[in-house]
């Protein structure tokens, strides 16, 4: 028996990396009975007669996991965000950040396609960068002299990183620039739909700069989260660190008197766009109908 990490998942096979070698495995039949679905990033126990044939015996507890893409035990996520084509959405970025906060995954925001912007638009994105940096997020802006690529690559060392973002934002293009040998397939934007064609078909890790990086299927929208509306405030870091100054302990920063978040908002010390995202997500969660599982 050996221990390793699922490196790639494809058509019922799980490639496990262990001591620098890759072993192809399948899940034991009792996994299905126990409703265990192994995913990329899982730490596992396995046995093998060769590197081409083996079986997973156990999936260890995960420290975190994402549903889209299905990947586990991630240290950080690069949220690749196009400045244009598809058009930038504060709300979509904020949803992605909330999803990562819930999963306890450190976000890194990477803006692409800045070369397509006017000087005025560049100034706008410099302000956007300032907003998210002030919250405490790492924000990197793509540039022509590859400083941004080096800055990003340095963050991969000894980490397990997922590259995520809206379809067409440039995830595979970004990884190809960091490591041209990858030759990942990239897709063109459909101008009619203003969304990209899905080009990544599987979830797998790639070794880059002493770290493991996953290129993942893109998405055109973002699902809501399995949290209560009143808990949403805890996943906006700038709200959480100032909430102790609100008059009421359970303040959700909407209609309560003497709310510190509303005060900071009036002084423009908290982003109006972030607050709009918060209100919209709060309403979605508040109005979400419960799902009753009738299976026994």
Query: Which tens digit of pLDDT belongs to each residue from 75-102?
Result: 999 999 999 998 999 999 999 999 899 9
Report whether 198 belongs to an annotated binding site.
no
Give the residue-averaged pLDDT of 29-50.
Answer: 92
Report whether 168 belongs to an annotated binding site.
yes
Record the tokens describing residue 253, joined without a space: 């920063």
Report whether 37 belongs to an annotated binding site.
no
Phi then psi for residue 146, to 5 deg, are 70, 10
Residues 223-256: tens digit of each pLDDT: 667 899 999 999 999 999 999 999 999 999 999 9
Report whether 285 belongs to an annotated binding site.
no
CA dist., res. 246 & res. 100, Å (int) = 25
Report whether 183 belongs to an annotated binding site.
no
191: pLDDT strictly greater than 80: no
Report whether 103 belongs to an annotated binding site.
no
Say which range, 16-20, 87-91, 211-215, 248-252, has the weakest mean pLDDT: 211-215
Bridge partners of 18?
Answer: 21
Give the residue-averaged pLDDT of 16-44.
Answer: 92
Report whether 115 belongs to an annotated binding site.
yes
CA dist., res. 234 & res. 232, Å (int) = 5
Report whether 92 belongs to an annotated binding site.
no
Report whether 166 belongs to an annotated binding site.
yes
Evaluate whether 241 touches 247 at the Cβ level (below 8 Å): no
Report whether 15 belongs to an annotated binding site.
no
Evaluate whether 54 touches 46 at the Cβ level (below 8 Å): yes
Domains of the chain: 2-59 (2.40.50.140), 65-215 (3.40.50.300), 229-287 (1.10.40.50)
Report whether 20 belongs to an annotated binding site.
no
Chain mean pLDDT for the chain: 87
Give this prediction's pTM: 0.84
Task: Report the 3 state secondary structure along 38-73.
Answer: CCECCEEEEEEEECCEEEEEEECCCCCEECCCCEEC
CA dist., res. 219 & res. 100, Å (int) = 15
CA dist., res. 236 & res. 215, Å (int) = 26
Within 10 A of 60 (CB to CB), how many other CB atoms are there? 13
Report whether 169 belongs to an annotated binding site.
yes
Report whether 106 belongs to an annotated binding site.
no
């Amino acid at each position: 028996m050996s221990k390793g990490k699922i490196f790639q998942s494809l058509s019922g096979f799980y490639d496990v990396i262990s001591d620098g070698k890759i072993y192809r495995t399948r899940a034991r039949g009792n996994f299905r009975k126990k409703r265990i679905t192994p995913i990329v990033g899982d730490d596992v126990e396995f046995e093998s007669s060769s590197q081409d044939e083996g079986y997973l015996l156990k999936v260890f507890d995960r420290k975190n996991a994402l549903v889209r893409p299905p990947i586990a035990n991630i240290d950080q996520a690069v949220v690749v965000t196009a400045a244009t084509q598809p058009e930038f959405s504060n709300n979509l970025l904020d949803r992605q950040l909330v999803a990562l906060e819930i999963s306890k995954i450190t976000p890194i925001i990477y803006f692409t396609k800045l070369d397509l912007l006017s000087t005025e638009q560049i100034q706008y994105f410099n302000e956007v960068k300032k907003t998210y940096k002030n919250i405490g997020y790492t924000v990197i802006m793509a540039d022509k002299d590859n400083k941004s690529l080096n800055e990003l690559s340095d963050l991969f060392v000894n980490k397990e990183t997922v590259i995520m973002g809206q379809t067409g934002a440039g995830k595979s293009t970004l990884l190809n620039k960091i490591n041209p040998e990858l030759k990942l397939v990239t897709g063109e934007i459909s101008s009619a739909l203003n969304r990209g064609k899905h080009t990544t078909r599987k979830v797998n890790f790639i070794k880059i700069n002493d770290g493991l990086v996953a290129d993942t299927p893109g998405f055109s929208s973002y699902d809501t989260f399995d949290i209560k509306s009143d808990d949403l405030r805890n996943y906006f870091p700038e709200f959480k660190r100032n909430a102790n100054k609100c008059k009421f302990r359970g303040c959700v920063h909407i209609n309560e008197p003497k709310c510190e978040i509303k005060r900071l908002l009036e002084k423009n010390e908290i982003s109006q766009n972030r607050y709009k995202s918060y209100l919209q997500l709060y309403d979605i969660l508040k109005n979400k109908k419960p799902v009753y599982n009738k299976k026994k």
